[in-house]
Structure 1
Amino acid sequence: MLRNIPPILSPDILWSLRAMGHGDELAIVDANFPATALGARCHRLDGLTATDALKAVLTVMPLDSYVPDPALVMEVVGDPDAIPSIVAEFQTITLETADHPVTLGKLERFAFYERAKTAFAIIQTGETRLYGNIIVKKGVIDQ
């Protein structure tokens, strides 16, 4: 056992978070997302929500403070100005948990898939709410 590490972060996920370098990205996605097909490391958190996964990750991983959009969500198809409730929750978690709180950026659906394809790893959750997808960029811990 370790202290202060959210128990939903498996050893494999912790390995990925530790192995990531500054600027590497992590996608946290819903149950509908084609995570395995994209070819990146895919960690499963079946039965857990994307919001719980995001909160756990941001508890241990810094967000990049050197880029304008270190956290990106998927735009709603046909209504890019819409803010699904899960995206509002992502925003609240980012503001309350991240060491570098930010306003979430957005990517069009297929641009989001392409960006996730280049992520260091993907955490696929059991999230059933639509648009439960977010990409976060790892920052540095400046002492």
Structure 2
Amino acid sequence: MLKNIDPALNADVLHALRSMGHGDTLALVDTNFPAESVARQSTLGKLLRIDNVSAARAMEAILSVLPLDTPLQPSVGRMEVMGAPDQLEPVQVEVQAKIDAAEGQSAPMYGIERFAFYEAAKKAYCVIATGETRFYGCFLLTKGVIPPAA
């Protein structure tokens, strides 16, 4: 255990988050996502896990250390519901609340069509699988920057 580090963040995940640069993306995915095969095509080349937690809990842990690129653009994408791209599933509503809390303001997610999400995840820096069992618990995060102290 470390002080001030969310215990859901294991060493492999912390290393990946720290290694990412501004503009790099990570895919946070549910248990139904083809995580292993997609992760092999990512920059990191291997699957990372935050097991036995929901997507919202994993998002909360990640956002405790990862800055989003939100001031410049929407920085979290969500997999769209097939046939209903504007529909938000309960898992997505829960994750949106964690994003807003971390950002201290509303930071709406943008939609990504299902197959476009698969392609974007292949190009991500890394793929992190959660224990989320609900459908559409898949998100793409863009890393931002931490400004210098004023």
After TM superposition, is the score higher than 0.5?
yes
Q: Which residue in the other structure is 1:6 paired with?
A: 6
Q: Which residue in the other structure is 2:115 paired with?
A: 110
Q: Which residue in the other structure is 2:61 paired with?
A: 56
Are the aligned partners of 1:65 and 1:100 in contact in 2 as well (CA < 8 Å)?
no
Are the aligned partners of 1:46 and 1:124 in contact in 2 as well (CA < 8 Å)?
yes
Task: Check if 1:121 corresponds to 2:135.
Answer: no
- Structural RMSD (CA): 1.4
Task: Check if 1:88 corresponds to 2:93.
Answer: yes
Gap change, CA 1:100 and 1:118, over 3 Å in 2: farther
Deviations 1:51-89 (A, max 9, x none): 111000001110013542210001000111211011111
Unaligned runs of 5+ in 2: none
Q: Which residue in the other structure is 2:19 paired with?
A: 19
State how far apart, in whole Å, the 2-side matches of 1:93 and 1:74 are: 17
Task: Check if 1:37 corresponds to 2:37.
Answer: yes
Question: When the two structures are superposed, what TM-score results if normalisation uses the length of structure 2?
Answer: 0.90
Matched residues, number: 143
State how far apart, in whole Å, the 2-side matches of 1:139 and 1:56 are: 16
Are the aligned partners of 2:86 and 2:111 in contact in 1 as well (CA < 8 Å)?
no
Unaligned runs of 5+ in 1: none
Letter in structure 2 aligned against 1:17: L
State how far apart, in whole Å, the 1-side matches of 2:104 and 2:3 are: 19
State how far apart, in whole Å, the 2-side matches of 1:12 and 1:98 are: 24
Q: Percent identity?
A: 44
Question: When the two structures are superposed, what TM-score results if normalisation uses the length of structure 1?
Answer: 0.94
State how far apart, in whole Å, the 2-side matches of 1:57 and 1:17 are: 8
